[in-house]
Structure 1
Amino acid sequence: MHTLRRILFALAALCLVDGHLFVGQSVAWLTMIGDRAPQMGFTAAVADSLSGESPCDVCRAIRDERQEKRQEAPLPDSRPELKFAPVVFSERVAVPDAPPASGPPAAAVPAIWRSWAAEVPTPPPRLG
């Protein structure tokens, strides 16, 4: 169950940061290199596939998806300081009293704990 949860969490995180587009682009490049290597040679196939001059259908679809996401993303505000309302503090601030230095009231500690605490030797015995 924990393994499935971790896998689903990793997939969700991957999709959140557009990892699915990265994986798709990597698969597309590897497929293009594999298809072009027998005709062009490995080095030329890598250079041609990664240059972007002759993209495959998957590369075009991923490029279009990225462009759509950029268009849908809101532009950052040029003056972000205007978004925040000024905070005005009143002159009177209520400060709670400090807790007692002796610890919690005796009524809050169960009687069995009080009797057990009395049995603990002070200082504790040393080993060895």
Structure 2
Amino acid sequence: MLQLLARLLLLLAAVVVVEGHLMIGQSVAWLTMIMDRAPSHGLQESIETTFSGKNPCEICYLLQIERSRHREHTSIPEATTIAKMIPLRVSAASLLFPPARFPHTLPLSTSVKSQWQGDIPHPPPWVV
């Protein structure tokens, strides 16, 4: 149970570090704008006006304020969202579900004999 809680906290921290909460908020804002505008303007026009950026909603304004506040506090370019994701070379599955500490190792090659592998004993020949 404690490991599950630790993994969830790790996942939450990773989402916050790469500004996932802002991405989720922007997605919610876009979907809300499309749903609000679709009955009066039609689906195609509501999608065009949503993604044009000319008519932002209140959620979009709040997200812009949050992003600008974050940029004011960030003085180094390495702290941008995309720069945080570039060095990630480990898959998310291995972070959330790491391998066992002592995995069973198999020999690298069966043709190489070690000191523990002797010749297979053969029975003596039959005398008739």
TM-score by length of 1: 0.57
Q: How far apart, CA to CA, are the structure 2 residues paired with 1:10 and 1:123?
A: 46
Q: Residue in 1 aligned with 2:104? A: none
Shift of 1:37: 0.6
Structure 2 stretches lacking a partner, 5+ long: 78-114, 122-128
| Aligned pairs, number | 83
Q: Is 1:57 equivalent to 2:58 in the alignment?
A: yes
Identity among equivalent positions (%) equals: 42
1 or 2 for the larger relative contact order (CA 8 Å, sep ≥6)? 2
Secondary structure, aligned partner of 1:124: coil
Q: How far apart, CA to CA, are the structure 1 residues paired with 2:118 and 2:12?
A: 52
Q: Is 1:67 equivalent to 2:68 in the alignment?
A: yes
Q: How far apart, CA to CA, are the structure 2 residues paired with 1:125 and 1:33?
A: 75
Across the aligned residues of Structure 1 and Structure 2, the Cα RMSD in angstroms comes to: 2.1
Cα 1:48–1:125 shift into 2, 3 Å: same
Q: Residue in 2 aligned with 1:124? A: 118
Q: How far apart, CA to CA, are the structure 2 residues paired with 1:125 and 1:52?
A: 76
| Rg (Cα) greater in structure | 1
Structure 1 stretches lacking a partner, 5+ long: 77-120
TM-score by length of 2: 0.57
